[in-house]
Chains A and B, each alone.
Chain A
Amino acid sequence: MSLIDQLNQLEHEALAALAQITDLTALTEWKNSYLGKQGALSRLSRGLGALPADARPAAGARFNTARATLEQALERAEAQLKRMARQHAFEADQVDVTLPGRAPAVGRLHPTTQMLRQIYAILGEMGFQVWESPEVETDEFNFQLLNMPPDHPARDMWDTFYVETTPGDATLLLRTHTSPGQIYAMRANAPKPVRAILPGKCYRYEQVTARHEMQFYQVEGIAVGEQISFADLKGTLVAFAERLYGKGVKTRFRPSYFPFTEPSVEFDIECFLCGGTGCRVCKHSGWLEILGAGMIHPTVLRNGGYDPEKVSGFAFGMGPERMAMLRYGIDDIRWFFSGDERFLQQF
């Protein structure tokens, strides 16, 4: 058999052996036995020296192509085997992607807190600063300085918890609204302009029901300056409502009464639950009461240290729980102070 015939046979045999290989160990063996320094191809090539000189170049070239063919085949087989090995690994490693994930434990902020933060953010952009004032108040701050002297009939609008005091001491009560904070914020700034919001807990002597709580939050807002009018109050409230309830929300202003504002106004937005056609939540009126407001009463301005003939201002008050109840469709205000995680973890 000629050397070339032997080479052809070797090439054929090597390729056939390669086709049978299914793992990397066998592949390495194959590589060593055919392409290694002591491999079959090298050994056969030693026969080149015995050829006539004129036949050597052609035979040498044939040996080179045979080596190239086998090396390429090896590369392909190697790649194929790697692919298959990966494939097997993937199959062994696959998961049911519908199984629940590993959730990091992340807690939630109370819905009232979330609502308050949104209010701070929106009004903060309009220059309102957050102030605080006491929850246990004097009759003077909760009523008298807000234009409700003793025996004022409007006091009936606020059922009040009183705190036991020693006879002769100032009357103490749980503030029924955050409005006393107006006086603190004004006195801290007068005669300079002020824009403030006063968030906090308030209390009403009221039987606790799904709609009424003895404890709730309120956010009072005031703006006092040299040229603040009712039109500014309207503009501010509409801008606030559009940020909170979406651009173009329908709003309604209607006259109301608070002893500490004059004129007073109730601010409604179109009921977003029924689109204004009337439902149980809006008491079939198509409107939702969002907040009460008005131009600060001259007496209150004076009590805050301002001259009501030189400056004017507006005030507004809103209830974050009520706003959250409307937003999330919460049907019972008592959940807010229950500390119940079944409630807290929904927001």
Chain B
Amino acid sequence: MRVPLSWLKEFVDITLSVEELAERLTRAGLECEGIERIGVEGADLPWDPEKIVIGSILEVRQHPNADRLVLADVDYGAGAPHTVVTGAPNLFPYKDKGRLPQPLKGVFAREGAELYDGHAEGWVKMRLKGRPVRGIMSDAMLCSEKELGLSEDHEGILILPDDAPVGAPLRDYLGDVVLKFDVLPNMARCLSILGVAREIAALTGSPLRMPEMTVVEDGPPVEGRVRVTIEEPDLCPRFTATLIEGVTIGPSPLWMQRRLTMAGMRPINNIVDISNYVMLELGGPNHMFDADQVADQHLIIRLARPGERLVTLDNKEHNLDASLGGGMLPLLVCDPHGPLSLAGVMGGASSEVSATTTRVLLEVAVWDPTIIRRMGTALRARSEASKRFERGVDYELPPLVQRRALSLLQRIAGGSVAQGMVDNYPRPWQPVILDLTPREVRRIVGISLSAAEIADLLRPLGFACDLIDNGAAVRVTAPSVRRDITMLADLCEEVARIYGYDRIPLSLMADALPEPRNNPSLELELRVRDLLAGAGLDEAITYSLTSMAAVAAVNPADADASLYLRLANPLTPEREYLRRSLLPTLLDALAQNLRERERVLLFEIGRVYLKRAPGSDDPRPAEPQRLALALAGRRYERSWHTPDETVMDFFDLKGIVEVLLTRLNIAGVQYVPLTDDPRFHPGRAARLERDGSVLGVIGELHPDVCERLAIAAPRAMAAELDLELIGALVESARYRAISRYPATTQDLSLVAAVEVPAERVAATIRKYAGALLESLTLFDVYEGEQVGAGKRSLTYRLVFRAPDRTLNDAEIAKIRQKIVRGLEYDIGATIRG
């Protein structure tokens, strides 16, 4: 809501500075989002009061040396008239007519004045300098609207009304300040100058003034000449109508056009402008019909009937069916022949006020917010009117709007006003009456006020307050303009607001603490994040929404749209489906990063969204937490002290996963070769299993995937794990007594068939080594000529230790013998040393 200060000052005296006023209103809940100054000090272009003044154009003469220029003699209130050279086409009709019987008023700018350049694109400032134009000295100007910054118009000079005071600084005449407010839904009453003024009056104690409302009812009575029938009283609680005849259509006066422009509306003609002006001023949307286009001057408020159509003001034709009312039939204002307008939302073209209109039928009504909202949504057009009706218009406002509009119509467009007003009011306003106690104010707001003090805070806002029960409570009647007040909490807010939020004391809750609660899933998340960051991975958060193309790039087999939750209203095709895996978005981040750097390690913890089986009790999808890892590039950052140029592979990723699981004390996870997952290299991927349940997958990406994702690295690795399954396996750390006796170390080198997995070799060693084996480390793997085709050599370091004694050589030799035989027997391995 844009509010010109000059307009506001007609309703209430303001002694605060503009900034103070803005801050005061902001602190009272009407947030001032900006202050725009026009011509006054602080404006982008302040109008110099000495150099930019109102002038009177006495005579217009042909320039002696140029056909397209004229000379204007301007009296600007300082002795002799000044001659101005100008090319303004709107002065040409007055050329060489001698002294004008009715001088024109314009804006006169003297040498040194700062103005916008009328010929430049956009807003370029320039300073007025004297120079000869075709032999005649030009050191002053008559200004266009553009040169003053009032509008883009540079077609001719700005002509002011005849009563503009000659010699007065333009700053005082047209300068203004516009306050821009963000009006929240509960402050609908402030969608008007009157509403904002009422708040200021309540906050500052200044009295509220009402505007000129004089109407001369010099026409015959309206009764019997205009009829209103309300078929839907629940949707139209009140409908008023008046008639003014003999109006003259023309432009509205400059002051009205300026205010509409400043408030953000475009001036059209005097009738339309008055309609908008009154809506902005009082908050009452209204509609002006050309009365001669309303059959029998009979207005009927009803729902649409099958097959009806209407061409609206914007020349669009609509089928008046339930699609236009969001499931309800649209509500119409009709005459006996058919629809005239969409009630409260948009007028129809056929009954629109036109250049030939002489009789105006003025509608001021109150509509049900829901039907207005639905029609506005269906039309995808929120008009200024529907915006106000949706939020609730004061039931008692229409008569006031009628009088103010008629008064302006009569003054500006002429005409005679029919006596009286048709007022159909089938659902009168039911005032809300609430008993508010000091105890309730203390309970909710935390301040101690007496009933009388509470009443004093509420009364300036228009609440009627009576002390009841010997001053134990206030009986509050909300004014009709406060349709937002429905319960005690609303009144508490008003009390707090006017008392001042900043004056309410600070306290800390004295209440009991809630019952203790563990949150294992959060704790797991925190630990996993710390462990992975400690392992050198950066945490990413990617979009939950993705596309089938992105899914297919990682795995065409996953791109079955029927498995995914799809948005009904996606913003872009890239973010259309809720993800079922973190990999498409995280691998995309990997690919992007690899364009910038040689080594990338990322992880993400986030939810995936899985449709429930049909018939499930909960309509919401399952949202399990997943952990994904992605890495590629150099194993070590390029640096002067590390000549190692190797790139990461499967084992870098596996090492990270192993560290993670170890630190979470999860043992016994099997890495089962994964050979048929299209996402992964068939020989470098594994499924993680524990007791038959699959925790996730890990592997080097298939070259096809890298190609589709444009991953520029020889190998790229990814893993995705189910964090909920992992969480269920987490064990607490357990202390093992530390032996005081020395250890004995043995190295064991064996040759086995390549097909025997290392994990099986290690398990065999452990099985035969028994409890004295403290640790087992594989430190060499060799395949080649020395061991023969199809075989490989594995070398382990075994550390033995007993908790209660020093082991002797004979014991160790015996164990070693057992292991060697076991390896030969179980997996056909031979010992090299």
Known pairs A106-B533, A117-B526; list 16 more (Cβ under 8 Å). Answer: A113-B541, A137-B620, A161-B569, A163-B566, A164-B568, A170-B619, A174-B567, A193-B514, A201-B606, A214-B575, A229-B507, A230-B504, A256-B184, A257-B186, A341-B596, A344-B540
- Contacts of A245-297 to chain B: CB distance below 8 A: 252-257, 259, 262-266, 283, 295, 297
Inter-chain CA distance A100–B539, complex, in Å, is 25
Given contacts A235-B507, A257-B185, A312-B443, contact A298 B596 (CB under 8 A): no
Q: Are B619 and A129 closer than 8 Å at their CB atoms?
A: no
Residue of B nearest to A104 (CB): B536
State whether the Cβ of A322 lies closer than 8 Å to any Cβ in chain B: no
Proximity string of chain B (15-35) to chain A, C-beta cutoff 8 Å, 1 when within and 0 when not = 000000000001111010110
Chain A residues in 8 Å Cβ range of B603: 107
Given contacts A192-B515, A229-B442, A264-B493, contact A257 B187 (CB under 8 A): yes
Chain B residues in 8 Å Cβ range of A52: none
State whether the Cβ of A130 lies closer than 8 Å to any Cβ in chain B: yes
Which of A7-15, A33-41, A59-67, A220-228 lies at the binding interface? A220-228
Q: Are A151 and B593 closer than 8 Å at their CB atoms?
A: no
Inter-chain CA distance A164–B34, complex, in Å, is 40
- Contacts of A120-178 to chain B: CB distance below 8 A: 126-127, 129-132, 134-138, 151, 153-154, 156-157, 161-165, 169-170, 172, 174
Give which listed residue, A194, A238, A342, contacts B596 with CB less than 8 A: A342
| Cβ-closest 10 pairs across A and B | A339-B589, A231-B446, A255-B29, A229-B446, A105-B536, A225-B511, A263-B493, A257-B184, A339-B540, A253-B501
Give which listed residue, A196, A214, A254, A339, contacts B542 with CB less than 8 A: A339
Q: Are A254 and B29 closer than 8 Å at their CB atoms?
A: yes
Inter-chain CA distance A199–B402, complex, in Å, is 52
Inter-chain CA distance A340–B588, complex, in Å, is 10
State whether the Cβ of B444 lies closer than 8 Å to any Cβ in chain A: yes
Chain A residues in 8 Å Cβ range of B568: 161-164
Residue of B nearest to A200 (CB): B607
Chain B residues in 8 Å Cβ range of A256: 29, 31, 184
Q: Are B501 and A108 closer than 8 Å at their CB atoms?
A: no
Which of B65-73, B634-642, B701-709, B773-781 lies at the binding interface? B634-642
B101 vs chain A, min Cβ distance (A): 51
State whether the Cβ of B322 lies closer than 8 Å to any Cβ in chain A: no
A-B contact list, 5 entries, CB within 8 Å = A107-B537, A129-B514, A132-B522, A153-B369, A257-B186
Q: Are A340 and B589 closer than 8 Å at their CB atoms?
A: yes
State whether the Cβ of B397 lies closer than 8 Å to any Cβ in chain A: no
Q: Are A138 and B538 closer than 8 Å at their CB atoms?
A: no
Given contacts A228-B509, A255-B29, contact A344 B539 (CB under 8 A): yes
State whether the Cβ of B215 lies closer than 8 Å to any Cβ in chain A: no
B577 vs chain A, min Cβ distance (A): 10
Chain A residues in 8 Å Cβ range of B532: 107
Q: Are A253 and B502 closer than 8 Å at their CB atoms?
A: yes
Q: Are A136 and B623 closer than 8 Å at their CB atoms?
A: yes
Chain B residues in 8 Å Cβ range of A196: 514
B198 vs chain A, min Cβ distance (A): 16
Given contacts A129-B519, A257-B186, A298-B487, contact A235 B506 (CB under 8 A): yes
Q: Are A109 and B529 closer than 8 Å at their CB atoms?
A: yes
Inter-chain CA distance A161–B566, complex, in Å, is 10
Give which listed residue, A112, A234, A312, contacts B444 with CB less than 8 A: A312
State whether the Cβ of B544 lies closer than 8 Å to any Cβ in chain A: yes
State whether the Cβ of B741 lies closer than 8 Å to any Cβ in chain A: no
Give which listed residue, B506, B566, B575, contacts A231 with CB less than 8 A: B506
Q: Are A151 and B619 closer than 8 Å at their CB atoms?
A: no
Chain B residues in 8 Å Cβ range of A344: 538-540
A289 vs chain B, min Cβ distance (A): 10
Chain B residues in 8 Å Cβ range of A339: 540-542, 585-586, 588-590, 592-593, 602, 604
Q: Are A172 and B442 closer than 8 Å at their CB atoms?
A: no
Q: Are B569 and A162 closer than 8 Å at their CB atoms?
A: yes
Instruction: Give the number of residues in B that approach A within 8 Å (Cβ atoms).
Output: 100
Q: Are B533 and A108 closer than 8 Å at their CB atoms?
A: yes
- Contacts of B515-554 to chain A: CB distance below 8 A: 515, 517, 519, 521-522, 526, 529-530, 532-545
Q: Are A134 and B185 closer than 8 Å at their CB atoms?
A: no
Q: Are A135 and B544 closer than 8 Å at their CB atoms?
A: yes
B343 vs chain A, min Cβ distance (A): 16
Chain B residues in 8 Å Cβ range of A110: 539-541
Proximity string of chain A (310-347) to chain B, C-beta cutoff 8 Å, 1 when within and 0 when not = 00100000000000000000000000111111101100
Q: Are A162 and B567 closer than 8 Å at their CB atoms?
A: yes
Chain A residues in 8 Å Cβ range of B609: 135-136
Chain A residues in 8 Å Cβ range of B536: 104-107
B693 vs chain A, min Cβ distance (A): 23
Proximity string of chain B (482-508) to chain A, C-beta cutoff 8 Å, 1 when within and 0 when not = 000001011011001100011011111
Inter-chain CA distance A99–B641, complex, in Å, is 10
State whether the Cβ of B597 lies closer than 8 Å to any Cβ in chain A: yes
Q: Are A341 and B565 closer than 8 Å at their CB atoms?
A: no
Chain B residues in 8 Å Cβ range of A157: 185
Q: Are A225 and B390 closer than 8 Å at their CB atoms?
A: no
Residue of B nearest to A251 (CB): B502
Proximity string of chain B (357-379) to chain A, C-beta cutoff 8 Å, 1 when within and 0 when not = 00000000000011001100000
Inter-chain CA distance A194–B447, complex, in Å, is 23
Inter-chain CA distance A161–B577, complex, in Å, is 11
Residue of A nearest to B29 (CB): A255
State whether the Cβ of A208 lies closer than 8 Å to any Cβ in chain B: yes
Q: Are B31 and A254 closer than 8 Å at their CB atoms?
A: yes
Proximity string of chain A (11-53) to chain B, C-beta cutoff 8 Å, 1 when within and 0 when not = 0000000000000000000000000000000000000000000
Q: Are A136 and B565 closer than 8 Å at their CB atoms?
A: yes
Q: Are A337 and B541 closer than 8 Å at their CB atoms?
A: yes
B438 vs chain A, min Cβ distance (A): 13
Chain B residues in 8 Å Cβ range of A201: 544, 606-607
Q: Are A102 and B567 closer than 8 Å at their CB atoms?
A: no
B620 vs chain A, min Cβ distance (A): 5
Give which listed residue, B26, B490, B542, contacts A337 with CB less than 8 A: B542
Q: Are A254 and B539 closer than 8 Å at their CB atoms?
A: no
Give which listed residue, A99, A161, A225, contacts B509 with CB less than 8 A: A225
Q: Are A192 and B514 closer than 8 Å at their CB atoms?
A: yes
Chain A residues in 8 Å Cβ range of B174: none
Residue of B nearest to A208 (CB): B571
Chain B residues in 8 Å Cβ range of A230: 444-446, 496, 504
Q: Are A106 and B444 closer than 8 Å at their CB atoms?
A: no
Inter-chain CA distance A207–B572, complex, in Å, is 9
State whether the Cβ of B578 lies closer than 8 Å to any Cβ in chain A: yes
Inter-chain CA distance A215–B571, complex, in Å, is 12
State whether the Cβ of B391 lies closer than 8 Å to any Cβ in chain A: yes
Chain B residues in 8 Å Cβ range of A235: 506-509
Inter-chain CA distance A189–B526, complex, in Å, is 25
State whether the Cβ of B401 lies closer than 8 Å to any Cβ in chain A: no
State whether the Cβ of A118 lies closer than 8 Å to any Cβ in chain B: no
Chain A residues in 8 Å Cβ range of B810: none
A118 vs chain B, min Cβ distance (A): 13
State whether the Cβ of B510 lies closer than 8 Å to any Cβ in chain A: yes
Q: Are B511 and A226 closer than 8 Å at their CB atoms?
A: yes
Proximity string of chain A (200-242) to chain B, C-beta cutoff 8 Å, 1 when within and 0 when not = 0101011110000011000000010111111110111011000
Proximity string of chain A (89-117) to chain B, C-beta cutoff 8 Å, 1 when within and 0 when not = 00000000001101111111110110001
Inter-chain CA distance A265–B502, complex, in Å, is 11
Residue of B nearest to A166 (CB): B614
- Contacts of B601-620 to chain A: CB distance below 8 A: 601-604, 606-607, 609, 619-620
Chain A residues in 8 Å Cβ range of B184: 256-257
Q: Are A265 and B511 closer than 8 Å at their CB atoms?
A: no
Given contacts A138-B619, A254-B501, contact A223 B509 (CB under 8 A): yes
Chain B residues in 8 Å Cβ range of A129: 514, 517, 519
A218 vs chain B, min Cβ distance (A): 14
Given contacts A138-B620, A164-B565, A338-B589, contact A255 B28 (CB under 8 A): yes
With most chain B CB atoms within 10 A of its CB, the pick from A107, A110, A256 is: A107
Give which listed residue, A154, A207, A225, A297, contacts B489 with CB less than 8 A: A297
